A = this chain, B = another copy of it.
Amino acid sequence: MSTVNRLAEIGTLVGDPTRAAMLEALMDGRALTASELARAAGVTAQTASGHLSQLATAGLLSVEKQGRHRYHRLAGSEVARLLESLMEWTAGAEPKMARAIATGPRNAAMRRARTCYDHLAGQLGVAISDALIARNIVIFSDEGGLLSPDGSDALREMGLRLPATKLKGTRPLCRPCLDWSERRPHIAGVLGATIASHAFDAGWIRRLDGSRAVTVTRTGEAELKRLFGVGAL
């Protein structure tokens, strides 16, 4: 297989609207069953099955068999990252279009706050990032993102505990991820995931009808204000 075909291969995979819908449904990091994905993409189970096997053999999805269900999830954060960068690109390509989308009422909740694979994005994600940058806990530059030397301690005081075990993988601790709705970077990587999972566990945010969008709870509003100085969105 030549290198151009490799390019075309992944393109074809993502290029089909049905498969794209499935991938998008998985972008929040959850594992979904084949039938759930079929429904999400609006096709029958047979059709979905074919698409899923394609995505899995290409290595984009990892499959876990559990009883009579098959749970599908993105193969890793790199995949989510790749998809986000594709979406970011298309968003930037047509400014007028993007503007039209941005003002669409249906996506309002998504723009306000959503998960991006395993971390927070949208206005909420950007606001938290800004707060941590303002306090010199996180440093963003053109070259990437860094956790400042005493950032880890500052985070612990706020109740955010980074996983002690340095992950053996090469997953970055703190990576900027460009927000396609806000057009500004928010925090991804291990730190981003830690913040998001803490926010869920502490009841600050809740998933909206099982989609990527999230809402801030009453207690969440108070805590976000107290810790990060984040006002109402």
Contact = CB atoms under 8 A, between A and B. Distances in A.
A150 interface: no
Closest 6 A-B residue pairs measured CB to CB?
Answer: A144-B144, A11-B14, A11-B15, A59-B93, A12-B15, A15-B15
Interface string A1-37: 1111111111111111101110110000000000000
Given A7-B86, A90-B10, A143-B144, A101 B173 contact: no
Given A59-B93, A78-B89, A20 B8 contact: yes
A39 to B, nearest CB: 14
B3 A8 contact: no
Interface string A140-174: 00111110000000000000000000000011111
Interface in A67-84: 78-79, 82-83
A134 interface: no
- Name the residue among A4, A15, A86, A171 with the largest chain B CB count within 10 angstroms: A4
